[in-house]
Amino acid sequence: MDFFTFVQLGDASVRMAIPLLLACLAGLFSERAGIFDIGLEGKMLAAAFLAAAVSFTTGSVWVGLLAGIAISVTLSLIHGIASITFRGNQLISGVAINFFAAGLTVVIAQGWFAQGGRTPSLPREARFGSVDFPGALTRVRDKMQASPGMQFYSEFISGHSILVYLGLLTVPLSWWILYRTRFGLRLRAVGEAPEAVDTAGISVVRLRFSAVIIAGILCGIAGAYLSTAVQAGFTKDMTANRGFIALAALIFAKWRPWYALGACLLFGLFFAIDNRFQNIQLQVIWIMVLLIGVSVLMTSWAARKEKIDLWVLGGLSAVLTLIALLAWRGAVTDEIGAMAALFETVKVPSQLIQSLPYLFVVIVLAGFVGKAIPPRAGGQPYVKER
């Protein structure tokens, strides 16, 4: 691969990472305040539908964005009322939001547009277009013939939608809010010791509702980005479990904004590989080396951890090893012997490439990234002492 191909891969990684990053930061604010939010997926999905539907109806993508944020904040408030006001189970409330959004978006889309549960394709004025910086090249042919510096500037720095730049800016903004403001200090304190915050005369309920509202705003932008910037409309289940992947990225990042950016970029790289390299061809021996090598590393790591880690990662290692052996066995024919088959070039199954983000989620959740300690009061309703 040449340099321009690597630049394109990095560009696609950033684009794919933005919805994960926004949802991850949404979970960060919520969980730092002690409210677990499993409903990130549902809020993103609802925002994606309403943003696309309103953008198509009004012809204004900004109105669509506001509509997406509004529905996401509404669902966040429902989650807050259930888990903060009525002290309900936070996990059940989040799961209910996911089911609610997954079913209702399709039903409303079918009743509104009668196109099989999706919205019509959005016209150009109802989508977020690319922002081209001064001096940047816009034609692919010109970029391919340009110098490496110009390729990096034109493809990687320039040409994104405004929501991409907004999403990247939320990382330093989130860090500043959480670690450099009085509000952020109180928010983190609520997730660790809400009784101490209450003793200081600060409302725990108000702070936690503020956190879930911020989470709703970020999820609304993430959902709107998917349907009005990445794609030209809404389709059923278009979030593709990104809300759950964002939660895994949050654990991977250990509830820190800058680490969240790195984790989401890594997950975005896997999605970018799936989008841009669907016809990867490798020699069988390299497929076996990669899969078996990863299996050995995971098993050796898991052997030093908890028994559950060994079971999970060991089982996944066995599956990857079996895939490697099947790839070798499938290359053996009457004309090609067992040794010669190792050097045969075969196409890597697209399903294996598509599964990379989800395999990495399993690895993360199995403790491969080390011990991640959530906020101490996370998931626990606060009952004020009288």
Going by C-alpha positions, the residue among 148, 239, 221, 178 that lies closest to residue 28 is 178
Decide if pLDDT at 369 tops 60: no
Write out pLDDT tens, residues 248-269.
Answer: 889 888 889 999 998 899 888 8
Decide if pLDDT at 351 tops 80: no
Structure tokens at 10: 């990095």
Question: Of residues 229 and 319, which shows the higher confidence score?
Answer: 229
Which residues touch 313 (CB under 8 Å, ≥6 apart)? 298, 299, 301, 302, 363, 366, 368
Between CA 55 and CA 340 the distance in angstroms is: 57
Give the pLDDT band of residue 343 (cuts 50, 70, 90): confident
Which of 42-46, 153-157, 279-283 has the highest average model confidence (pLDDT)? 42-46
Q: Provide the pLDDT for residue 252.
A: 84
Q: Provide the pLDDT for residue 162.
A: 93
Give the pLDDT band of residue 360 (cuts 50, 70, 90): confident
Across the range 135-162, mean pLDDT stands at: 85
Write out pLDDT tens, residues 171-209.
Answer: 999 999 999 999 999 999 999 989 888 888 889 999 999
Task: Using DSSP bridges, classify how beta strands 160-161 and 130-131 pair: parallel, antiparallel or unpaired.
Answer: antiparallel
Decide if pLDDT at 283 tops 90: no
- Exposed/middle/buried for 257, CB within 10 Å: 0-12, 13-18, 19+? buried
pTM for this predicted structure:
0.87
**Poorest-pLDDT segment among 97-101, 338-342, 363-367:** 363-367
Percent of the chain with pLDDT over 70: 92
**Cα angle 309, 353, 316; round to 5:** 20
Question: Of residues 80 and 331, which shows the higher confidence score?
Answer: 80
Give the pLDDT band of residue 296 (cuts 50, 70, 90): confident
Going by C-alpha positions, the residue among 266, 215, 349 that lies closest to residue 13 is 266
Decide if pLDDT at 101 tops 90: yes
Q: Provide the pLDDT for residue 279.
A: 65
**Poorest-pLDDT segment among 1-15, 118-132, 361-375:** 361-375
Decide if pLDDT at 385 tops 70: no
Q: How far apart, in Å, are the Cα atoms of 11 and each of 76, 121, 206, 273? A: 31, 24, 39, 11
